[in-house]
Structure 1
Amino acid sequence: MLQGSFLFFMLAFLLVGFSSVLLRRKKSSDYLLAGRSLPPSLAGLSAVATNNSGYMFIGMIGFTYTTGLAALWLMVGWILGDFLISLLVHRRLRRATEKFDSLTYPSLLGNWYGQNDRAVRILAALLAVVFLGIYAAAQFSAGSKALHVLFGWEQRLGVMLGAGMVLFYCFSGGLRASVWTDAAQSMVMLAGMLIMVWITLGRFGGVAGSWEALNGVSESFMTLFPEDLAFGAAGPALFVIGWMFAGFGVIGQPHVMVRFMSLDSEDSMQRARAYYYTWYVSFYTLALVVGLLSRLILPEIAAFDVAEDTELALPTLAAQLLPDLLAGLVLAGLFAATISTADSLILSCSAAISQDLLPERWQSFGLTRLVTLGMIVLALVIALVSDESVFILVLYAWSGLGAAFAPLLLAYTLDRRPSQRLALAMIIAGPATVFAYQWVDTRIVDTVYEILPGILAGGLVYVVGSRFESGRRAASSRP
């Protein structure tokens, strides 16, 4: 019954995505940006689903299962940072997209003021392909974990099935197919997790009984901050600020920002953000609660020491708590979420290659789809050979992208105009700092998320570089 339910609802999600072919136009602008016609409801729901998906349903719940209540600060910092930066960036981003007819995120960075910085576009496109490819691989891995728990399938088989479904989405309706599926699975997963929370709380005597049981898991499970943070009394504050910078980093994520680039109008941005943050807070709160409560229902997983085992908490919980029909629906929604997000990531990669890296005379709708196929194969290979958890893969890709692009985009929205040379230095400084940060003491890395020094490095390069350029201009203008 469970397998039949899963397959039925999985087919339903596929049909939702495929139905977008009815509105498809064989143009790159339609394939990559849905013709810039997304209503605020779809743009907001799709953006939050793409932002979370495998990270939230697999990685974050697994992290909460292991860490406990301290995972709350990832939610608080991340959403607060995301909200604050959106007030400054989102509307200006949509305006610049339309003004200069940008089809991709790298082209937007290279042409914000109509300056056509070709080198900026190329470097941004190269970094996008690398990090988004890793990100897409994490989504394939997340979906395969659900199938592993459901049916005992080899995770390798689930990865390949996911890649095949992404190919189906990409070749049916492009971004529009992903957006429609995002909206459908968003509602399903929200309802499914609400039901699981309700059932679990009932088993342990409501909120008070569950809270008491959670306090009995271990001495540290329900403490507000992780143990052994660096920097003494300043450690908790730096821990939260680090995750706030993770929220700032959303403006450096091409696959998320493309939703706002595709909005039907700049005037719709406020309503899109209302949908986005309502669902974001709801998703994250439920993910945190499910992660905590899963420790009570599935204590045996804690006997394992690797993240890959704890990341199976949500699909295992759904299979145990829910009737087969509902469990199949929730797990189909989870799998569809990871696949539609992977689709978005692959589309952003193929857009960067076909529109920003290849010569203009080669750009066409057909070539964009061919590049998409190549990116699916690359992400498939990464997913098959990587031993990292979904949580680590997503955070690594997120920090690399955010550190590379957020400082430059922020400078643009503040009406600053760094030279092409300075813009390139900012894009390089962020990921280089994130990479170097991996060699720092482990306690420091666990206290301050790596995106914070990465973004600050890009900002510092701008401050120093702009003053240096101003000084040179002043010196050259003297008689």
Structure 2
Amino acid sequence: QKQNTTNDYLLASRNVNPWLTALSAMATGQSGYLFIGVIGFTYKVGVASIWIPVAWAIGDYIAWWLIFKKLRLVSQQTNSDTVSSFLGQENLRSGKNNGRLITIISALITIAFLGTYASAQLVAASKGLNAIFGWNYQLGVIIGAVIVVIYCFSGGIRASIWTDSVQAILMIGSLLVLCIVGLINCGGFGELWTKLNAIDPTLTNLIPANLPWGFFPYFLGWIVAGFGAVGQPHILVRAMAIDSAENVAFARNIKFVCGQINSATAFGVGLTARALLPDLITSSDPELALPYLSMELLPAVMVGLMLAGLFSAAISTADSQILSCSAALSQDLIPNTANSYRMAKITTLVVTAIVLVIALTGDNNVFALVIFSWSILACGLGPLLVLRVWQKPISVPVAIAMMIIGIIVSIAWNLGLGLSSAIYEVLPGMATGFIVYGIVYFLTDSRELSK
């Protein structure tokens, strides 16, 4: 039952049903990234693109298995309503709360990069509207932002989780329909393979081409990317809001099954789109493969279903991310307003405006935006969250160093060294965060680490 309190607005009073948790986590984790980014990437790369969702699923499952149950317990013990406040929590071994600076820095990271992540969802929604209706790109972004605000104001995280769950079912159904229709029009799996091979033989290669360090480091990098869910506030908050820590395992398994159905059908849609619409690679944006394929194969009513699925995927993530950014602003950066329900809504408007500006002025490649934002959040917040969950002693300087150095390594690995094609930057970025802690741990008295 909805309550007009900040705790209910941010964590649904920690009583969310595990089915809703599972479906919501799946929807908000896959997002417009799946409908636009992954399908577009599969369209360009072909069969070899399958290793990213497979590896990602492995890492994501490990994160839920090792971290999320304990996160639910410890976040309640420390009375943490946001991920940033949890990271700057009272150190349980020392009994001293000197983590205010940690909270501020992690909140700034959340707003900057989760906000960028949310902008990718508005871009994804707008691309769908543009492809199907020919609407102006900017208009589509604005419509998406308005709908997100309506969702958020309907009841905070509780409304977000309920709508996410309905949208998750719509996502599964729409992708499944388009995948089956696409395969039928291709003539089955055998004909699909033949068509892809005729277009470009590299499309049927099982192993990605041009891997500088080989397949295993590449695959391992994407497994760690999936584990990077431990640094994503909009996903973590769902584990914090579930009704019981004992139900996390059930939610994890449901999420995993539904997520793999979606990933498999998105993979199929990307391949069938390449086979049936081969000219899209040069004449338009490959990330529009889903809307163009649906218009090519389906009656108008079903095209509407596809658009609803795409819009659901994008908005279900955007509202969750904007709520997490809003919480970081109202609860962590302006703590004197932490108990103000009205201020929580005002900051939601402010964050939405920031995200809207990013979407209108930034990069419109959904896959690239999501991959970049995910890596920064995973490397900046992930290692520290893991150690907080396991209640390890961490001093303020060490925690800050872990966050900042992890982000620097992630950016340098991708933009400076250009090695992300060999190993996705989440692996070196997160590893560096743990290495920083490990070095200090072995060189310092454990009592000093708590200060």
Q: TM-score, normalised by structure 2?
A: 0.95
Task: Kindly state the Cα deviation for residue 413 of structure 1 after the two structures are TM-superposed.
Answer: 3.6
Equivalent position of 1:349 in the other structure? 325
8 Å Cα contact 2:363/2:369 also seen in 1: no
What letter corresponds to residue 147 of structure 1 in structure 2?
A: L
What letter corresponds to residue 174 of structure 1 in structure 2?
A: G
8 Å Cα contact 1:185/1:334 also seen in 2: no
Quick check: 1:150 aligned with 2:126?
no
- Find 1:300's aligned residue among 257, 279, 282: 279
Whole-angstrom CA distance in 2 between matches of 1:124 and 1:427: 8
Corresponding residue pairs, total: 445
- Of stretches 188-197 and 432-441 in structure 1, the one that deviates more from structure 2 is 432-441
8 Å Cα contact 2:65/2:249 also seen in 1: no
Equivalent position of 2:238 in the other structure? 259
Gaps of 5+ in 2: none
- Find 2:216's aligned residue among 237, 253, 256: 237
Q: How does 1:186-205 map to 2 (within 5 A)?
A: 186-205=168-187
SS at match of 2:125: helix
8 Å Cα contact 2:19/2:254 also seen in 1: yes
Equivalent position of 2:372 in the other structure? 396
Task: Kindly state the Cα deviation for residue 359 of structure 1 after the two structures are TM-superposed.
Answer: 3.0
Task: Kindly state the Cα deviation for residue 441 of structure 1 after the two structures are TM-superposed.
Answer: 4.3
Equivalent position of 1:462 in the other structure? 437
8 Å Cα contact 1:62/1:311 also seen in 2: yes
Quick check: 1:63 aligned with 2:41?
yes
Whole-angstrom CA distance in 1 between matches of 2:79 and 2:149: 27
Q: Percent identity?
A: 41
- CA gap of 1:271–1:471, structure 2 versus 1, over 3 A, is closer
SS at match of 1:52: helix
Equivalent position of 1:17 in the other structure? none
Whole-angstrom CA distance in 1 between matches of 2:338 and 2:62: 40
Equivalent position of 2:250 in the other structure? 271
8 Å Cα contact 1:32/1:174 also seen in 2: yes
Quick check: 1:182 aligned with 2:164?
yes
What letter corresponds to residue 130 of structure 1 in structure 2?
A: A
Q: How does 1:215-234 map to 2 (within 5 A)?
A: 215-231=197-213
Task: Kindly state the Cα deviation for residue 129 of structure 1 after the two structures are TM-superposed.
Answer: 0.5
What letter corresponds to residue 60 of structure 1 in structure 2?
A: V
Equivalent position of 2:295 in the other structure? 319
1:234-293 Cα deviation digits (max 9, x unpaired): x21111011011011001000011111110111111111111101111111111111111
Where do 4+ consecutive residues of structure 1 move more than 4 Å?
112-115, 471-474
Gaps of 5+ in 1: 1-22, 475-479
Whole-angstrom CA distance in 2 between matches of 1:241 and 1:252: 18
Equivalent position of 1:450 in the other structure? 425
What letter corresponds to residue 434 of structure 1 in structure 2?
A: S
Whole-angstrom CA distance in 1 between matches of 2:355 and 2:430: 26
Q: TM-score, normalised by structure 1?
A: 0.90
Task: Kindly state the Cα deviation for residue 75 of structure 1 after the two structures are TM-superposed.
Answer: 1.0
- Of stretches 251-260 and 323-332 in structure 1, the one that deviates more from structure 2 is 323-332
8 Å Cα contact 2:330/2:337 also seen in 1: no
1:406-463 Cα deviation digits (max 9, x unpaired): 1112223444222222111111111111122234444x32121111111011011111
Whole-angstrom CA distance in 1 between matches of 2:255 and 2:338: 36
Equivalent position of 1:85 in the other structure? 63
Task: Kindly state the Cα deviation for residue 345 of structure 1 after the two structures are TM-superposed.
Answer: 0.6
What letter corresponds to residue 44 of structure 2 in structure 1?
A: T
What letter corresponds to residue 9 of structure 2 in structure 1?
A: Y
- CA gap of 1:159–1:473, structure 2 versus 1, over 3 A, is closer
1:317-356 Cα deviation digits (max 9, x unpaired): 1222222112212211211221121111110001001111
Q: CA RMSD in A?
A: 1.7
8 Å Cα contact 1:141/1:390 also seen in 2: yes
Task: Kindly state the Cα deviation for residue 50 of structure 1 after the two structures are TM-superposed.
Answer: 0.5
- CA gap of 1:207–1:362, structure 2 versus 1, over 3 A, is closer
- Of stretches 292-301 and 222-231 in structure 1, the one that deviates more from structure 2 is 222-231
8 Å Cα contact 1:88/1:413 also seen in 2: no
Q: How does 1:369-388 map to 2 (within 5 A)?
A: 369-388=345-364
Whole-angstrom CA distance in 2 between matches of 1:469 and 1:350: 37
Whole-angstrom CA distance in 1 between matches of 2:371 and 2:108: 19
Whole-angstrom CA distance in 2 between matches of 1:112 and 1:472: 15
Whole-angstrom CA distance in 1 between matches of 2:114 and 2:16: 23
SS at match of 1:446: coil
Whole-angstrom CA distance in 2 between matches of 1:471 and 1:105: 25
